[in-house]
Structure 1
Amino acid sequence: MNKWNNEKLKFWLEAGLALLLVLTLGLAGARGIFAKDIEEKSVSAKTKVEQEKGADAKEKGSEAEKKDKAEENAAQETEEVIADGQYPIMGESSVTVEQMISFFEESGEEYPSEALGKGGADSIETFCQMYYDEAVAEGVRPEVAFVQTMKETGWLQYGGDASIEQFNFAGLGTTGGGVPGNSYPDVRTGIRAQIQHLKAYATEDALAQVCVDDRYEYVKKGSAPYVEWLGQKENPEGAGWATAENYGYSIVDMINKMKNIE
């Protein structure tokens, strides 16, 4: 009887161990599948994020390329317009401050550092940088305003109705017969007034900075979008900055010489 009981107990113990082993293996398998599933989901999520980042980068790259292409096309169209004999007053420019400085130095004239230094521009370098910054602020081509000044003032030597102490660089308000025209408190203000006056002729767009040009309101806005039209005799509407024949064309000739400076 004891032997039978022992064998029966042994049978149930072995059966229990077998069942425990089956359960353990089953649980381990389930954990493995679960872990694999988590890993696959993690990899899938990571791949999705990387794909989204790649798509964003591609989209941004595409937008940047489109922007660069648009700017390139605009510059090309502008150069084509210039080549056809019309030099826009407004727009971006390839002319540098260094070219402006060299253009003045090649004139052989001495920069009036004492007189213009009182107005905040004691060197040609400072003077040219002011022209560049003020022109860019209003969207006017720097070379247009700068070369106009060289023409109007005789390379900053003056000698006309306006005097250098007025910081009037383009004869604003001078009407001949000794009328001195407008005066400004410093060099930068005089430059800004001239550039704002140019913008008034070139476009109907509003000024970007506070108006310091006393004669801004008298200009027929947008009547001379091209430098060539600044001369009243060459302007289709008879408007323009000056009455001298080929006034605008002479400025363009000077600009072309400056642009050839390397």
Structure 2
Amino acid sequence: MRLDMHLEWNKLKTPGYLEIGLAVILIITMAGIGGWKQHQNKVLEKEKEIIRQAEEENKKEKDKQQNANNKTESVSENDVQETIAEGQYPIMGTSPVTAEQLVSYFKSAGVSYPSEELGEGGADSIETFVTMYCEEAAAEGVRPEVAFVQTMKETGWLQFGGDVSVEQFNFAGLGTTGGGVPGNSYPDVRTGIRAQIQHLKAYASTEPLNQACVDERYEYVLKGCAPYVEWLGQKENPAGTGWATAEKYGDSIVSMIGKM
């Protein structure tokens, strides 16, 4: 009788213990899952905070760089205005000088225009020659009188006679180094003019060319190192670089322009 009762009691008691054990395991498991989720949420929040801080730092750095750029541009503009006010002659920009003035300027020298030789290159008259200078200068934003007067200086009013010959259509001694070195040659007058004006722009501006480059020495120029005609002479250039080594080279061109 007692044995039967004991067995019956065990049958009733065992399922209860099992259910309690399973419940405990379930509680522990759920607690573990909840803790893991809390941990993951903390990690995600921390990552979001790191990203937010990085974005703020990037924004601060960009703002700082922009302010520095604005300050530099402002200083550069002020420096340019101050330099122009002191009498420097800019190479770039619009010009009040007309084509008629350039033609008259050439004729005032009392020399003959080499119509036969330059006619072979497409410019059989001084009027056509000047028109090409005005057109090519306008295409790159260079003042035409600067390029034209430089040509008069370099070629002896288109009489040549130095290392460069008229048939080369090289009007500014591009590529010449003295000692009989003839320098560059071009297929026609307009190309020679374009090369000269592109070379002037290389010295005067950091802006890219508007036309295809025909100046073989364009890449060797420190862009924007001589925004003023006076700085084309290496001895007068603050950076010690320039178009020519002759003393007062740029000043002599400005002096010639002043007589126009």
1:242 aligns with 2:217: no
* Unaligned segments of structure 2, at least 5 residues: 1-79
Conservation of the 8 A alpha-carbon contact between 1:91 and 1:140: yes
* Unaligned segments of structure 1, at least 5 residues: 1-77
Task: Map residues 126-165 of structure 1 onto 2, 5 A cutoff.
Answer: 126-165=128-167
1:110 aligns with 2:112: yes
Q: CA separation in 2, counterparts of 1:80 and 1:110?
A: 41
* Shift of residue 85, structure 1, vs aligned partner: 1.8
Partner of 2:93: 91
Q: CA separation in 1, counterparts of 2:88 and 2:207?
A: 20
* Shift of residue 84, structure 1, vs aligned partner: 1.9
Note closer, same or farther for the CA distance 1:232–1:103 as it changes in structure 2 (3 Å cut).
same
Partner of 1:222: 224
Conservation of the 8 A alpha-carbon contact between 1:81 and 1:87: no
Q: CA separation in 2, counterparts of 1:185 and 1:163?
A: 13
Paired positions, count: 182
RMSD over aligned CA atoms reads 1.6
Query: TM-score under structure 2 normalisation?
Result: 0.68
Show CA shifts across 1:186-236 (max 9, x none): 000000000000000001100000000000001010110000000000000
Partner of 1:213: 215
Q: CA separation in 2, counterparts of 1:181 and 1:85?
A: 33
SS in 2 for 1:254: helix
SS in 1 for 2:196: helix
Conservation of the 8 A alpha-carbon contact between 1:119 and 1:167: yes
SS in 1 for 2:259: helix
Note closer, same or farther for the CA distance 1:125–1:82 as it changes in structure 2 (3 Å cut).
farther
* Shift of residue 237, structure 1, vs aligned partner: 0.6
**Quick one: which amino acid aligns to residue 134 of structure 2?**
Y
Show CA shifts across 1:32-56 (max 9, x none): xxxxxxxxxxxxxxxxxxxxxxxxx
**Quick one: which amino acid aligns to residue 205 of structure 2?**
T
Conservation of the 8 A alpha-carbon contact between 1:117 and 1:123: yes
Q: CA separation in 2, counterparts of 1:201 and 1:109?
A: 30
Q: CA separation in 2, counterparts of 1:82 and 1:205?
A: 20
Q: CA separation in 2, counterparts of 1:125 and 1:210?
A: 25
Q: CA separation in 1, counterparts of 2:120 and 2:239?
A: 40
SS in 1 for 2:186: coil
* Shift of residue 82, structure 1, vs aligned partner: 4.5
| Residue number among 101, 104, 127 corresponding to 2:103 in the alignment | 101
1:188 aligns with 2:193: no
* Shift of residue 81, structure 1, vs aligned partner: 5.5
Q: CA separation in 2, counterparts of 1:96 and 1:81?
A: 25
Note closer, same or farther for the CA distance 1:107–1:153 as it changes in structure 2 (3 Å cut).
same
* Shift of residue 185, structure 1, vs aligned partner: 0.1
Q: CA separation in 2, counterparts of 1:237 and 1:133?
A: 31
Query: TM-score under structure 1 normalisation?
Result: 0.68
Note closer, same or farther for the CA distance 1:124–1:79 as it changes in structure 2 (3 Å cut).
farther
Show CA shifts across 1:45-78 (max 9, x none): xxxxxxxxxxxxxxxxxxxxxxxxxxxxxxxxx9
